[in-house]
């Protein structure tokens, strides 16, 4: 299990501001990842128990079920129709996934379908910056990156209006990524801490007025 200081980094604190979690919320997390960080925060710190979290990787689901057996983890393919009924969720958390998908329209239409008319979509995507050309993730995993204007257009085209937007992160995230890969593939071990944790966290307190590396958005369906 991760310690609270590892879970509550600057980005997650900003996400929580946008989520504004309530115990009674029915929440869907799209993209569990290798560790269910936001799920653990919502469950342990805010008492949210109606959480469903999905990921395409079976190993991620298996790991998450061991860490948080109290919650529901399912296999989910964001490039196909989701097996949830219309108007199922109060809040949908969709962070660092959209940029990996070849067809972004499918999942956004599905989110619009299963989110309640007064529900909230909390989304984060990477901001397109010149120094991203030095990021292996950009070349190997990302289908696209975004400007504020581009993500706004994508969301509006698929039935959402932006209520709040924040740009955080810094070039230190890129430095940290390369050091992480060095530890993982050359030293054959994982470093438990972010090397540039302080600098990265500060960027999520102050914002970057159009710069930064991450765009965080709170959006609602047009029908609201």
Q: Residue 143, SS3?
A: coil
Q: What is the pLDDT of residues 29-67, one digit of tens each?
A: 999 998 999 999 999 999 999 999 999 999 999 999 999
Structural domains in the chain, CATH included, are: 4-170+207-221 (3.40.50.150)
CB atoms within 10 A of CB 193: 9
Token pair of 61, please?
């689901």
Report d(CA 205, CA 207) in Å as an integer.
6
Burial of 165 (0-12, 13-18, 19+ CB in 10 A): middle
Q: Residue 162, SS3?
A: strand
Bridge partners (DSSP) listed for residue 115: 89
- Taking alpha carbons only, the member of 152, 105, 101, 98 closest to residue 125 is 98
Q: What is the pLDDT of residues 148-199, one digit of tens each?
A: 999 999 999 999 999 999 998 777 676 666 666 666 666 666 554 556 566 5
Residues 6+ apart with CB under 8 A from 90: 24, 25, 26, 27, 116, 119, 120
pLDDT higher than threshold 80 for residue 203: no
């Amino acid at each position: 299990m991760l310690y609270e200081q590892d879970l509550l980094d600057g980005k997650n604190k900003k996400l929580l501001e946008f989520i504004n979690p309530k115990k009674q919320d029915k929440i869907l997390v799209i993209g569990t990842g290798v560790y269910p960080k936001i799920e653990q925060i919502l469950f342990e710190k805010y008492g949210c128990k109606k959480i469903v979290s999905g990921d395409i990787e079976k190993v991620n689901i298996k790991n998450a079920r061991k860490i948080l057996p109290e919650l529901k983890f399912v296999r989910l393919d964001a490039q196909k129709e989701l097996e949830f009924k219309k108007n199922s969720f109060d809040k949908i958390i969709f962070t660092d996934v959209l940029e990996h998908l070849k067809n972004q329209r499918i999942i956004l239409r599905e989110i619009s379908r299963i989110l309640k008319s007064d529900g909230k979509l909390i989304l984060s995507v990477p901001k397109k910056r010149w120094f991203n050309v030095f990021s292996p993730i950009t070349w190997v995993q990302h289908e696209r990156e975004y400007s504020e204007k581009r993500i706004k257009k994508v969301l509006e085209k698929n039935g959402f209006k932006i209520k709040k937007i924040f740009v955080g992160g810094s070039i230190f995230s890129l430095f940290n990524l390369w050091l992480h890969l060095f530890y993982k593939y050359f030293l054959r071990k994982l470093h438990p801490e972010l090397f540039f944790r302080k600098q990265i966290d500060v960027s999520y307190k102050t914002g970057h007025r159009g710069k930064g590396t991450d765009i965080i958005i709170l959006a609602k369906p047009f029908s609201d």
